[in-house]
Structures are given as structure tokens and as C-alpha cells.
Amino acid sequence: MFYEPRLRNHGLRHDPFKALVVPRPIGWIGTVDADGRPNLAPYSFFNAVADRPPMVVFSSAGRKHSVANIEQTGEFTCSLAGYGQRAAVNMTSATVAAGIDEFALAGLEPEPSLRVKPPWVKGAPAALECRLWRVVELPPSGPERGDAHRLVIGEVIGIHVVDGYIREGRVDTGAMRALSRLGYMDYAVLEAATIFTMNRPEVGADGRSATVSDAPWDGVYR
Ligand SMILES: Cc1cc2nc3c(=O)[nH]c(=O)nc-3n(C[C@H](O)[C@H](O)[C@H](O)COP(=O)(O)O)c2cc1C
């Protein structure tokens, strides 16, 4: 099939776009408003987009509380949830009134951050402390600008990794059991059994051919 999203001519019950770009990591975005009241919500239009310095993005359909708070304070956290936190992640997506603390709503304990005011989620395997770089307004879907997505771009200025997830000098990604989002109401969990390793291709001296070694990774990024 082929369809053009603006024409909505997919012929299906739901636009399948979000079921195709998968799995999407979930940024569990912690913010505070101008009065210091905490807010927490999951965003799956979320990803890391650079590593020198590390930068993350998330996008909000319209100007939701998380974006409004970040525009006021310039700071946010991204907790990275594990499978065990799936129900709490879901609960914190409830569209409650501004100023309502979703940490409390979902029975979560806020963990104080070290470089920014918003807390992160105690029990998450890892979390990022971020400083706002820019908010970019994406094109609206129709004549109204209000529903346009706001793309929040932040620099990661502090990174928490719970010690138990570090093994032999590396993050034990499989142990984190990272939760991710698919389309519809579907989710996925990253399990150790599905992780595999491949070496990068090594280009021959003539610059025209490449080979890949089957040997275990030697620990050097190439
Ligand atoms: C797993 C998950 C991922 C979500 N991803 C997004 C997203 O990427 N963008 C968005 O606008 N809403 C997303 N939502 C919905 C928001 O979490 C929800 O609208 C929430 O109430 C926003 O909270 P806030 O107004 O406090 O920022 C997601 C919900 C869930 C459960």
C-alpha cells in the first residue's frame, strides 16, 4: 500500500505511521512549573540525536504542560523506564489539570536531580538531566497552529545510571528491560535475549571494498 498522510487515504481504521517507526524509546519527562510544582509525563516521540554533547529531543502534540514548564524554567529530566514501571508510565499520561503532580498520582517517588530543579523517577534504571536548547514549532496538520507539535531540544548535562545496571564497566542494557512504544496501545520490552553484536565494516586500503570481522568486539569504537 501507499498513502499520503495529509490526505488520510490509508483506508485503515487508524493511520499506521506510529506502528511503523518502532520501537520508539520513551522519555519520561520530569519538569517543574514556575511555582516549583512537579509534573511527569511519557513522550515516545523522543530520542537521543547527538552525543558530543549529548542532546535529546521530544515532541508534544500542542503545547502540553511539559513544554509549558520547560519554556518557563529551561530545564527537564528524562527518566528511562523499565518494564516494571509500565503501569506507572501509563498512569502519568493521564490528562490531569495543570499543577497536578503525576509523581503522586502514579505513586512514584521523586529522586532529586543534581544540576536541575525537576526530579527524576526513583526506580528508573537511568535518567538524564537536561537544559533546554530550543523549542521548534513543527508544521500544523491543518489551518490551526494550536495543535502543531512542539519539538523540544535539550542538552544532557547530567546522567544517572543506577549502579546495579553497570557490569564489568558497561551498562547492562538487557538488565534495564527498557520499555518502548509501538503503534496503537502496544508496547515492547528490550530483553537480553534479543540483543546481538556486530563489528563495523573495515574498509580495504583501496577504499573500494569492506569486510566485517566475526571476532568478539575489541572494545574500540570505530
Ligand atoms: C507511552 C506514551 C507515550 C506518549 N508519547 C507522547 C508524545 O510523544 N507526544 C505527545 O504529545 N503525547 C504523548 N503521550 C501522551 C502524553 O503523555 C499525555 O498527553 C500527557 O498527559 C501529557 O502530559 P503533560 O501535559 O503533563 O505534559 C504519550 C503517552 C504514553 C502513554
pLDDT at 179: 98
CA 6 to chain CA mean position, Å: 26
Nearest-CA residue for atom 18 of ligand 1: 93
pLDDT at 147: 87
Q: Which residues of 180-217 are buried (b: 16+ CB within 10 A; e: fewer)?
A: bbbeeeebeebeeeeeeeeeeeeeeeeeeeeeeeeeee
Nearest-CA residue for atom 5 of ligand 1: 43
> Is-above-0.95 flag for pTM?
yes
With cell 512504544, the residue in question is 181
Alpha carbon of 79 to ligand 1 centroid (Å): 14
Q: What share of the chain is helix, strand, coil (3-state, %, to 5)?
A: 20, 35, 45
CA distances (Å), origin 197, targets 25, 45, 148, 150, 221: 20, 26, 39, 35, 13
With cell 573495515, the residue in question is 202
Separation CA 121–CA 29 (nearest Å)? 9
- Binned average pLDDT, 10 residues per bin, the chain of 222 residues: 96 98 98 98 98 98 97 98 98 97 98 98 98 97 87 98 97 98 98 97 96 93 86
For 32, what's the count of Cα atoms within 13 Å in the CB-facing half-sphere?
17
pLDDT at 89: 98
pLDDT at 208: 97
Alpha carbon of 170 to ligand 1 centroid (Å): 31
CATH superfamily of 17-211: Electron Transport, Fmn-binding Protein; Chain A (2.30.110.10)
Q: Is the CB of 90 under 6 A from ligand 1?
A: yes
